[in-house]
Each structure stands twice: as C-alpha cells, then as structure tokens.
C-alpha cells in the first residue's frame, strides 16, 4: 500500500500560493465552451478533476489549446439555444468529479446528442436522481444504465418544452448549478422566462452565488428570489468575456490557515482574499470565532494562533462551508472543549461518506466523536494525540489533506496520499515547506 509518514511538528510559518479553485475552473471551462467567441482562461487548476472536464469537452469537439503554464484558449461553440456540440455522439468517462458530472449532465441533456456518461465506482453511488427528475420536467430523455437515481446515464435528443421546473436543493448544490448553467440552451418559449423553484433547504448557497456570478461574466443574468426561485429571461446567450482569471482555491486554503492557527503562524495564503466569490473563504471567519488571529487583503488571508495559545471549541452551522468544515473537525483536536459541526448531511454523498470516515479516523487519534445524521461532535483527548495512527483516506483528497494537520499533535501515517491529485497534486510538498519541529 502507498503511504506517507508525517513527523510530529510544532510550528507553521510561511506563504503558500494556492492552486486555482476547482469550482471556478470547471465552471469557467464549461461556460467558455458554451459561449460565443474565444476565451482565454488564466491560472486554471491542474488536477484530476479539471483533466476530466478538459477531456470531456475535447471529446465533444471543443477546441481547447494550452497556451502557457496553466493558461488555456477555448473556442466556444455558440452560446445559444439549439446549440450542438461538434461531436453529437460520445461515451464520456468523468471519474469521480461531481463538478463535471452534474453540470455536464444538464448541458448534454439539452444539447440534442446521444451521450453515455460514466465514472468510477464511487461516482456511481453518488445520487443524481433529483437532477434527472428536474431535467425530465423540461422534456429531457435520460435513462439510468444501472441503479435508479445514480450514474451511469444515457442521454438522447429530446424536445425541450417546459418553462417552470422544481429541484430538490437539500442533497447537492451541483444539481441547481447544472440546471442554471444549462437553461440558457433551452431557448425562449413565446418570450416567456424559464424558472427554477427549489424545494427543501438549499445547501451550500455560496456555490450557487458563484455559479450566478460566473454566468453573469459570460453575459447571462439570473434573478433570484430569496434563494427559492430563480428566473432566467429569454433571449440571453453566453458570450466570451475575452479573458478570465481563476481565483486560488478557498477550500485548499483552509488547511494552511488552520496550520497557522494551530502552529503559531503566521501562515499566509495568496490567491484568495476579501471579496472572494467562494463560500469557503468564510472559513477564516470561523477560525476567528475559535480565537485565531486573522488578517485579510485583496488577494491574501493570514492566520496566527490565538494570543492565549489555544483555540476554543465552537458550535457552528456549516451549511455554507461544507468542504472547509472538514478542516474545522481537525482544528477541534487542538481546541479546548467540544466542537459541534451541524448541517453537514451532504458529507455523506461526497467522494466518500465523509461523516462516517471523519468519525472513524478521528477516533484513531484518541478523540471522542459523536456522529449523527447531519452533525459531528469532536472532543480532543485529555493528553496527546495517539502517536503513529494509520489514517485511511478512502480515495478522498480532502481526507488526506485534512489529516495532515494531525501531525501537529503526533507523528502519523497517511495511506494513499496520492489521492490529493484530484485537486492539489503537490499539497504535501507545500505543507512540508511551512511546518517545523
């Protein structure tokens, strides 16, 4: 088995330049492919997930050229309704990339082609039924090739007719993101607007804010009414903004900011700052609630340990920062008291069942953990963390990155560390560069 042994460390200090945001990278790639005109994308994330989007778009006939470093030139296919990809029949393997599978399902359902979408075994266990149900309301022809409600999928040409659809917002915000991004391709019906109504609680709202903001950069405006109803007026089409820059990944920033808060600091991350589009940039505010000293600039965030030296436990609703909330569970190991993270049911349908996985691996370190259907309660051990615990990562990049922080309490072993390639291939090198004994 592939593994990485991390020595015990005490301090963290330095500057980390963040890789591009996965959420922004894959949204921008798809929007650029759908737009009228050429878009130059700067600082695209280089990772497994973005590779899946690049491969899929190229397989669909989109002309994409790498021009320098992580910059790409994308020739859009038109940006309007009745849009067709140059390749109208394809088998697409999308790995375990939810930011590819869900939005691309919605777009291809309206693209009047024949497509088969598959992924790894875990992707075939991640629900997609709510998105398919909503697309079928529009008239899309989608067939499950395996278990009902889950990938893989077969998509065929269909007549798109409905103007009002509903979608469940409580499982994944990627369903609503996919619908919003695809809807301009459906075209107007007698100049009537198309609407999406969300049922259930809309989780991860900042990701929807990000989707709407990026759509606006490509010329399509979405009106929202109390985050329950979304309106897209007819006659809009995607148009290239010419060039667009990808922010650093705020979810990835959380590990280094937590390191600064635990290991004295200061640790500064560059590439994301105040005014960021990304919801996980708010992670810094939560660290501040735990006592960390936080500074923000236009393009950077910096974290230090509390003046008292110890973080304090909190109870927090994590609906708006579901990915970065995993890092809070690790920070809880170094906080006084019991930390409770709520509203994290979406963890169960991610790359792995993150609620169960986090609970199991935290217990290996000696923490007392209470796992519920949508919450996690973490109490650190009375003494030191358990030394030389062997942490399983479940082929989940965020599990591997999160548990690197346990090395502030004891030496540990991370199994299958290469899974970080999904979003941050050189994570452990950058982590090692800021920590010290």
CA separation, residue 171 to residues 182, 183, 349, 376, 395 (Å): 19, 20, 8, 18, 21
Please tell me whether residue 345 adopts helix, strand or coil conformation.
helix
CA 88 – CA 15 distance, rounded (Å) = 46
The residues carrying an active-site annotation are 323
DSSP 350-382: SSS-HHHHHHHHHHHTT-EEEE-SSEEEEE--S
Find out whether the peptide bond into 82 is cis, omega within 30 degrees of 0: no
Give the Cα separation of 143 and 189 in Å (integer). Answer: 26
Question: What tokens appear for 425 in the block?
Answer: 């291939």
3-state secondary structure 288-335: HHCCCEEEECCCEEEEECCCCCCEECCEEECCCCCCCHHHHHHHHHHE
Which of 337, 330, 321, 341 is closest to 251 using CA atoms?
321
**Cβ atoms within 10 A of the Cβ of 437, count?**
7
* Packing angle of the helix pair 22-34, 48-59 (nearest 10 deg): 10
């Amino acid at each position: 088995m592939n593994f990485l042994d991390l020595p015990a460390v005490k301090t963290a200090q330095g500057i980390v330049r963040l890789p591009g945001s996965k959420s922004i990278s894959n949204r921008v790639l798809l929007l650029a492919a759908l737009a009228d005109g050429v878009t130059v994308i700067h600082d695209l994330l280089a990772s497994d997930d973005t590779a899946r989007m690049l491969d899929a778009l190229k397989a669909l006939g989109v002309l994409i050229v790498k021009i320098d470093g992580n910059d790409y030139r994308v020739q859009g296919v038109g940006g309007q309704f009745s849009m067709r990809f140059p390749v109208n029949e394809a088998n697409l393997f999308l790995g375990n990339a939810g930011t590819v599978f869900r939005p691309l399902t919605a777009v291809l359902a309206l693209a009047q082609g024949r497509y088969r979408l598959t992924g790894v075994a875990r992707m075939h266990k991640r629900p997609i039924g709510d998105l398919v149900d909503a697309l079928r309301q529009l008239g899309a022809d989608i067939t499950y090739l395996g278990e009902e409600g889950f990938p893989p999928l077969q998509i065929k040409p269909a007549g798109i007719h409905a103007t009002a659809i509903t979608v469940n917002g409580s499982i994944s915000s990627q369903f609503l993101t996919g619908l919003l991004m695809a809807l301009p391709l459906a075209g107007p019906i007698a100049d009537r607007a198309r609407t999406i109504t969300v049922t259930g609680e809309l989780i991860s709202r900042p990701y929807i804010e990000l989707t709407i903001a990026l759509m606006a950069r490509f010329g399509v405006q979405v009106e929202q009414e109390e985050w329950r109803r979304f309106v897209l007026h007819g006659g809009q089409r995607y148009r290239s903004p010419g060039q667009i820059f990808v922010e650093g990944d705020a979810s990835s920033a959380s590990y280094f900011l937590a390191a600064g808060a635990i290991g004295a600091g200061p640790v500064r991350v560059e590439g994301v700052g105040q005014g960021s589009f990304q919801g996980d940039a708010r992670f810094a505010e939560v660290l501040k609630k735990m006592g960390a000293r936080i500074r923000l600039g236009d393009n950077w965030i910096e974290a230090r340990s509390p003046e008292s030296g110890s973080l304090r436990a909190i109870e927090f609703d994590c609906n708006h920062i579901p990915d970065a909330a995993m890092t809070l569970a690790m920070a809880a190991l170094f906080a006084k008291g019991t930390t409770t993270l709520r509203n994290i049911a979406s963890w169960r349908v991610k790359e792995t069942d993150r609620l169960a996985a986090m609970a199991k691996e935290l217990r290996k370190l000696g923490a007392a953990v209470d796992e519920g259907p949508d919450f996690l309660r973490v109490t650190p051990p009375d003494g030191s963390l358990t030394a030389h615990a062997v942490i399983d990562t479940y082929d989940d990049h965020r599990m591997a990155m999160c548990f690197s922080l346990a090395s502030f309490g004891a030496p540990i072993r991370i199994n299958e560390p290469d899974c970080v390639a999904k979003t941050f291939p050189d994570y452990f090198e950058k982590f090692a560069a800021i920590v010290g004994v």
